[in-house]
Every structure is written in structure tokens, then in C-alpha cells.
Chain A
């Protein structure tokens, strides 16, 4: 049973550039989450998918951010026109969904973004 994987692990970009991150969840998990973690803080929720449907987005997710999960498997998170304030660790997590029950979320290793 492979865990959640994320690529790339590190990304350095210049302000104004677009970046895209990928997350591959645990294969049987139909819920997928994105979180952002800045230095010295706990992770903060950004958005989540149930299968291919994006069901909730945090106010933290400005219009420069877009996430997709086209076939209900892997997901991508794109940031357009990056700003220095976007520098953070972007974490992906997945969990099964069994009708109203809260299941444990399992996290990937994260993608650390540095915007110069």
C-alpha cells in the first residue's frame, strides 16, 4: 500500500511565474485535501475534493489558485502570478469516505515552494 505522493518536493520560482504541483492519493481514497503550511505554523485547509468534485474552498484560496482532480484520482494545484507570500509548504492528504464517518487523513511529503 503506497502512501500519498507529491511532486515536485521542492520548487523555486521567481515572482510572477506560474507553478503547478501534483498529488497522487492513496489509491482507494476518494477524498483529497490540500493544505498550506507556513514556517512555524500549523497547516491550514485550502480545499478538498470528493472524487472529481471540488466541494469546498477556503477563503485562503485566492483567485490566483486553482485546483483540479479531473478523473477523481490525482490532483493538481496551480498558482498563477506567484507572490512572495505564497512561499510555504503545500501539503496534500487523502482519506476514504464512508458516508458521514470521519476518517483519518494521511499526508504526503509536501511540496516546498520558494518564491524569490
Chain B
């Protein structure tokens, strides 16, 4: 069975601070995909990034960056220079070709509050 754990339930920062969200996953599959989604107060899940298990290269996309480490089964996500509009719940998710239709298994989410 697949499992995703987000140990941080809520993080509060002041604008312009960096925020790092932790994600630890469990899967027996050798091929899998990891995702981060953002859920603002409006409720819609917004896709942010996706990574496959064969590519551990860490990248930066604008103010977002991620750190994928297979050795520790972690896929952490960082928002640099946070802004008030970054306030939302962030979900880490896992999928694999072996799962039903590539269904997503989500973590419990981390609520980020960015104060002005």
C-alpha cells in the first residue's frame, strides 16, 4: 500500500521568509511519481510540480524549489520569499502505474499562513 505523510500540520511565517514543507512517502513500486498541489481557501486543488522516481535532480521554478531524495523517501518543497498569496493548504501526493488508473494518494496537508 502507498502512504504519504506530511508531519507539519500548520506553518506560520512572516512575508518574505522561506517556507519548507516536508513530505515522506512509502511505496513498493520502483516507478512512481510525486506531486505537490496547492489548495487555496477557494477549495480548488492547483497542480504545482511533478517528479518521477528516476529523476532525482532538484530544480527551481520561480519561487518554488524541491528536494527529492530516494534514499530517505522524501520530497520536500520550498517556497522562497513567501507572499501573502501563498497562504493555502499544500498537499504532497504519490502515484504509480501499478495503482488503479494512476490514482493519487495524498498526505494530510500542511496549512501555510503567510502574515504581512
Contact = CB atoms under 8 A, between A and B. Distances in A.
Contacts of B103: 33, 45, 48, 56
Q: Range of interface residues on chain B?
A: 20 to 34
Q: Range of interface residues on chain A?
A: 20 to 34
B105 A112 contact: no
Interface of B: 4, 33, 35, 37, 42-47, 50, 52, 91, 93, 95-97, 100-109
B106 A42 contact: yes
Contacts, number: 68
Contact of B97 (A55, A89, A100): A100
Chain A residues touching B, majority SS: strand
A113 interface: no
Nearest to B92: A42
Given A95-B102, A104-B35, A42 B108 contact: yes
A50 interface: yes
A45 B105 contact: yes
